Amino acid sequence: MIIVTGGAGFIGRNLIRRLNKIQRTDILVVDNLRNGKKYKNLVGLHISDYIDKHCFIKRLLNNSNYLKNIEVIFHEGACSNTYEWNGRYLMNNNYQYSKSLLNYSVENSIPFIYASSASVYGKNIYSSNTFDNNENPLNIYGYSKFLFDQYVRSVLTKVSSQVCGLRYFNVYGPYENHKGAMASIIFNIYQKIIHRKIPVLFIGSRDFKRDFIYIDDVVNINIWMWVNKISGIFDCGTGVSESFTLLADIVLKFLNYDSIQYVPMPYKIRQHYQTFTKANISYLRNIGYDFSFIKLSEGIHRYLNWLIHNN
């Protein structure tokens, strides 16, 4: 059995689709469908069961015989809202829950692959070393991810089973529409245009650069880590930074639209905004991951074609 937490979410959904393509359907989806619209992400997938995330963790921790023959846990479930400031909620979701699931995995020698975040770096523009003192999260979301990474580091040298953290950079692609403001700028520009509204970027977007990675590459890395039994914490990005303006230009050109509005960045966002991110992929290369990444223009074209045919 394969467990995917956050299976109805953006990355979880795409991961399950890939698992289905390699003939794996014995998949338990763990999620929270309080946002009922997320059910659409499960349509078309082949899974063996679904369980609410709160019921799952209680049963798992209170009954050692609840599940048997777990091959791997892909822990994609968490609060992904970087604007969330309810610290108790974030720490329960992103830290305590993850810690409980990790401890269970280690005690039962179950491979554990989880979603971390590039937000742990804050305004340190380049992660020169995933294990150095380069982390400086700018908000409680980033801190919750950072603290769990720190906990993982404390157990990595003491366990024999696989524990692997992937620090996702700006992921984009199909099935992210339920994320609202947290969806990629590509999706949000597309939505503005089809609803006959002028797309918006922040003033300074020509200088704001991020590492944008297509969802298929993220899924590839997750599967590769599992198959190759890799442990550690790794940046999950392309190693290339592109500006928001360039990204917007690609979208506008593809959709034959030529208008965009630049607005000031709100102060409350400005305080906690990463103006530059770039993954250090040398660690991926050093462990043998030698696949090329989908270039930004190609990824955007793929995604827009998908949006047009699945709107």
Query: C-alpha angle with apex 2: 180 to 38, nearest 5 degrees?
Result: 20
The answer to whether the beta carbons of residues 248 and 260 sit under 8 Å apart is: yes
Which run of H or E residues covers position 237? none
User: Which pair of structure tokens corresponds to residue 256?
Assistant: 């034959």
What pTM value is reported for the model?
A: 0.94
Query: C-alpha angle with apex 70: 29 to 54, nearest 5 degrees?
Result: 40
Q: Tell me the residue ranges of DSSP E strands in 53-162.
A: 72-75, 112-117
C-alpha pair distances (Å), 259 with each of 63, 197, 201, 253, 254: 58, 10, 11, 10, 13
Residue 112 annotated as lining a ligand binding site: no
Phi and psi torsions of 108, nearest 5°: -110, 15
Q: Residue 260's pLDDT is what?
A: 93
Residue 79 annotated as lining a ligand binding site: yes
Q: In terms of residues, how long is the chain?
A: 311
C-alpha pair distances (Å), 212 with each of 11, 177, 240: 14, 17, 8
Phi and psi torsions of 252, nearest 5°: -60, -40
To which residue do tokens 């297509």 refer? 214
Residue 80 annotated as lining a ligand binding site: yes
Residue 124 annotated as lining a ligand binding site: no
Q: Residue 133's pLDDT is what?
A: 63
Residue 145 annotated as lining a ligand binding site: yes
Residue 263 annotated as lining a ligand binding site: no
Residue 222 annotated as lining a ligand binding site: no
Closest listed residue to residue 202, CA positions, set 245, 242, 170, 172 = 245
CB-CB neighbours of 59 under 10 Å: 12
Task: Considering only CA atoms, give the Rg of the chain.
Answer: 19
- Which residues carry out catalysis? 141, 179
Closest listed residue to residue 269, CA positions, set 201, 178, 172, 177 = 201
Which run of H or E residues covers position 27? strand 27-31
Find all residues with CB under 8 Å of 255, minimum gap 6, and list them.
190, 193, 304
Report helix, strand or coil for 78.
coil
Closest listed residue to residue 293, CA positions, set 173, 186, 125, 202 = 173
Residue 233 annotated as lining a ligand binding site: no
Q: Residue 16's pLDDT is what?
A: 98
Structural domains in the chain, CATH included, are: 2-171+214-237+278-293 (3.40.50.720), 173-209+241-277+297-309 (3.90.25.10)
Phi and psi torsions of 201, nearest 5°: -130, 160
Over its length of 311 residues, how does the chain's per-residue pLDDT go in tens digits? 999 999 999 999 999 999 999 999 999 999 999 888 889 999 999 999 999 999 999 998 887 677 888 999 999 988 777 667 688 888 888 999 999 999 999 999 999 999 999 999 987 655 544 455 688 888 889 899 999 999 999 999 999 999 999 999 999 999 998 888 788 999 999 999 999 999 999 998 999 999 999 999 999 999 999 999 999 999 999 999 999 999 999 999 999 998 999 999 888 788 788 889 999 999 999 999 999 999 999 999 999 999 999 87
